[in-house]
A and B are shown apart, each in its own frame.
Chain A
Amino acid sequence: MKLTYLAAGLFAAAAVAGPVKADKLDDIIASGTLRCAVVLDFPPMGSRDENNNPVGFDVDYCNDLATALGVKAEIVETPFPERIPALMSGRVDVGVASTSDTLERAKTIGVTIPYYAFENSVTVNDKTDITTWEGMKGKTVGATAGTYEAIWLEGQVKEWGEGEFRPYQTQADVFLALSQGQLDATVSTTEVANANVKGGKFPGIKIVDKAPMVPDYVSLFTMRQEYGLINYMNLFINQQVRTGRYAELYKKWIGEGEPANLTVQGVYR
């Protein structure tokens, strides 16, 4: 009797499961196009060149992923709040859009291992002798008031018990003060620091070290249930780092220096 139930149960399960359906990975390869959600008002990750074509780290990353899959890449411009709705409404296949891998998001979408991390760097005036972040101890430092890095820096100054912290209204004010020597050092995201050092508006400043703050890890994403595609993208990110393409893209879009380490010490994933 029990065996009959079991057989009937298995039969019902098989009937419900139905024929094996192709997953998203197969769909993308079959259709010949990979549609990526990319934010294009977020340089240097995504922006447009003078011919209004999409360029940036994320754009190149999407193109690399498409090349790996053997398909054509289609960049779908999505503002920040539209990244996940665009995926849910089937307008894109994956997101290559500097998306932080928060647990809240992971309830809705499937996120990969980090493909990039936004770190914070210490930028100093040339005339100071600061070479590491600890070198800021006892110096005059500043940052844009209210930002994550300003709160961290102010906390450090208090902890050291010497030196001075000065808040500023805008990022440009901070770099102007630094360039003029009113500040010895500042902490900002590496991308902003590089843009300001390269920009030439603020002479006499240089990036010396990374600040030991938890970086903002960002991931590729697709539909939550598409394990095949998520597995593929995880391996793809691994290969990008392994082959040196990650460092190459970092040098091309962000600047000199070591790209962020994408592993976290002391834990799997």
Chain B
Amino acid sequence: MFDTALTSTDLIFLAKGAGMTLLVTAISVVIGTILGIIFGVIRYQIGPIWAAPLTFVLDICRSIPLLIQLVLLNAFFGMVVGLRWPGLTVACIVLSLYTSAYCAEIVRGGIEAVPATTRRAARSLGMTWGQDMRQIVLPLATRVALPSWIGLALGVMKDSALVYVVQVTELLKSTQILITRLQEPLFLLLICGAFYFIISYPLARFGGYLEKRWSND
């Protein structure tokens, strides 16, 4: 009844693409989050005027389409700097910066959500700035920021489909290669969608679980 030219080799090929999507996403989200926390704290701490240059750079990362950032940075490294970095490196750099720009906003929002009175109480108890940040702000801000952060991580996973322009064969590119060869676009896109669901769903559920757990105590 249902006939397809898809073989198990092709499924492994798709799984490899999914692995590449996961790898790019994992690297970018980890580095992007660390950078985002640093940028977010700096922006909150030094005030809007001194943070203007940083804000400007982060705004650039947020407003230029990812596809264009990838092509331009790849061309910049290749032609101006003269470095021939593998596509994966360029992809991770661009996606990390992109993630960090969004994450910085989430972190800033999280910190601002902690009531000023609570923080002042901490400082008047003799806590240092570091203690205040770690023991008062961190637990409270994380709870506020977590849902947006999960949304960001899921978004980056799907945005990582654009890294095909720097010769990284991730899930969507693998699917397109198979579509060109087998001419079964709808069926292959269905499988591709299923793969994205399989790798996104656990993260979404894990976020939901943490949210529930943290809101009860």
Query: Chain A interface (Cβ within 8 Å of chain B)?
Result: 31, 33, 40-41, 47-48, 50-52, 76-77, 89-91
Contacts and interface: CB of A to CB of B under 8 A. Distances in A.
A48 B181 contact: yes
A48 B84 CA distance: 26
Interface of B: 7, 9-10, 13, 71, 74-75, 78-79, 84, 166-167, 174, 177-178, 180-181
A52 B12 CA distance: 11
B181 A90 contact: no
Given A50-B7, A90-B78, A41 B84 contact: no
A91 B180 CA distance: 22
Q: Binding site of A, secondary structure by majority: helix, strand, loop or mixed?
A: loop
Q: Chain B interface secondary structure, helix, strand, loop or mixed?
A: helix
B105 to A, nearest CB: 30
A41 B178 CA distance: 11
Contact of B177 (A48, A76, A91): A48
Nearest to A89: B75
Contact of B74 (A33, A52, A91): A91
Given A90-B75, A91-B78, A91-B167, A52 B181 contact: yes
B74 A40 contact: no
A89 B84 CA distance: 13
A51 B9 contact: yes
Contacts of B75: 89-91
Residue among B9, B75, B166, B181 facing the most chain A CB atoms (10 A cut-off): B181
A227 B216 CA distance: 71
B7 to A, nearest CB: 7
Contacts of A40: 177, 180
Given A47-B181, A48-B181, A89-B75, 20 more contacts: A41-B180, A48-B177, A50-B7, A50-B9, A51-B9, A52-B9, A52-B10, A52-B13, A52-B177, A52-B178, A76-B167, A77-B177, A89-B71, A89-B74, A90-B74, A90-B75, A90-B79, A91-B78, A91-B166, A91-B167
Contacts of A41: 180
Contacts of A76: 167
A48 B9 contact: no
A242 B178 CA distance: 37
Which of B13, B74, B177 has most chain A Cβ within 10 Å?
B177
Contacts of A50: 7, 9
Choose among A31, A33, A50 the residue with the greatest number of B CB atoms under 10 Å from its CB. Answer: A50
B175 to A, nearest CB: 11
B69 to A, nearest CB: 13
A23 B182 CA distance: 41
Contacts of B13: 51-52
The 6 closest A-B pairs by CB, nearest first: A90-B78, A90-B79, A89-B75, A41-B180, A90-B75, A48-B181
A77 B79 CA distance: 20
A229 to B, nearest CB: 15
B35 to A, nearest CB: 26
A52 B14 CA distance: 10
A1 B185 CA distance: 76
